A and B are shown apart, each in its own frame.
Chain A
Amino acid sequence: MVRATVVWDGPEANIIRVFVEPALPSGAVAHDEEITLYRALDQNEEPTGPVTGIEIVGFLGFDRWDALPKLDLLWQLPGQEPLPLDELLKREQRRLRQEAERAASLA
């Protein structure tokens, strides 16, 4: 199990990043055009180490859950129960969609 935090700066950018805590020096490894993994850097500054995070572009509309990398890890956000990555992301997507809808209705 890993502790994790979510970085999100709103529906306009629409990119979620989930990072393992505590953070390690990391580099990105593209998984596909929307999904990027972060891995710890080795001595040659190559991202070959353990997974340190994931980034998804277009997250509010993302539905390719089968395309997520298969990671044998449970991820735990502060104050929440540990979950497989896809479950955590689905829950965050529901929450962030609600937030976006609420903000749009107030605008």
Chain B
Amino acid sequence: MGPKSGQGSAEPPRERIERLVAEGLMPWAAVEQAERLWQERLRHSVTMPNGEQVWITLDDLYHVIVDSRIWRHPERIVRALESVFEIRALEHGRRLAFSRWYEGGRERLAALVLYPDRTLRTMHLIDERRLRRYTRKVGEVVWRQ
């Protein structure tokens, strides 16, 4: 199955999520849990440790939960934002934030792309090797804890 006819070859994020649910690849309960988190927390903004508030749109939430490790634990979006320890500049006013937190004794790292309008547009769990690679190559540090 692919995108519905009549919309070109691109599929909006919500339709992809609905299709994954229909195909049995993602439980509807996970989508509901993520949407509930958005209603209760994310749409009101989350404050990063530098004091800045960040929003996430519902469409971007649907993007972020494409990663199975996030739809199974959507609270990781909040943890990641609240645990940012460094922010670097990207092109076009975008920024890349790095985050570290602990779950059950295990360290988690994430990279978050922030747009100039203070929205979180995408987020990825990364490992220490990726973090080192990023911090060697990606633009100047604009904030560090």
CB of B118 within 8 A of chain A?
no
Interface positions of B from 1 to 34, Cβ below 8 Å from A = 1-3, 8-13, 16, 20, 23, 25
* Per-residue B-contact encoding for A14-29, CB less than 8 Å = 1, 0 else: 0101010111111111
Assembled-state Cα–Cα distance A77/B111 (Å): 29
Chain B's interface: helix, strand, loop or mixed, by majority?
mixed
Given known pairs A13-B60, A38-B66, the reply for A96 and B10 (CB within 8 Å) is: yes
Residues of A within 8 A of B2 (CB): 3, 5, 21, 77-78
The residue of chain B having its C-beta at the shortest distance from the C-beta of A37 within the complex is B124
B125 within 8 A of A: yes
Across chains A and B, the number of contacting residue pairs, with CB separation under 8 Å, is 101
CB distance from A2 to the nearest CB of B (A): 13
Q: Is the CB of B122 within 8 A of A57?
A: yes
The reply to whether the CB of B91 lies closer than 8 angstroms to some CB of chain A is yes
**Among A21, A41, A58, A99, which residue has its beta carbon within 8 angstroms of that of B68?**
A41
A9 contacts partner chain B, Cβ-Cβ < 8 Å: yes
Picked from B9, B124, B137, the residue with its CB within 8 Å of the CB of A79 is B9
Q: Mark B112-140, 1 if CB is under 8 A from A, else 0.
A: 01010000011011100010001001110
- For A107, the chain B residues whose CB sits under 8 A away are none
Contact residues in A for B20 (Cβ distance below 8 Å): 23
Could you tell me the distance between the alpha carbons of A41 and B9 in the complex, rounded to whole angstroms? 26
B90 at interface, CB cutoff 8 A: yes
Report the interface size for chain B: residues with CB under 8 A from the other chain.
Answer: 38
Chain A residue numbers with a CB within 8 Å of B91 are 58
Instruction: Determine how close the nearest CB of chain B comes to the CB of A84; give it in whole angstroms.
Output: 16
Are B121's CB and A95's CB within 8 A?
no
Q: Are A33 and B90 in contact (CB under 8 A)?
A: yes
A30 CA to B138 CA in the complex, in Å?
12
In contact, A30 and B8 (Cβ under 8 angstroms): no
Residues of A contacting B10 with CB < 8 Å?
A: 6-8, 92, 96
Q: Which residues of A contact B (CB under 8 A)?
A: 3, 5-9, 13, 15, 17, 19, 21-30, 32-34, 36, 38, 41, 45, 53, 55, 57-58, 61, 77-80, 92, 95-96, 99
List of 9 A-B pairs having minimum Cβ-Cβ separation, nearest first: A28-B124, A25-B68, A8-B10, A78-B2, A6-B10, A77-B9, A9-B59, A33-B138, A23-B25
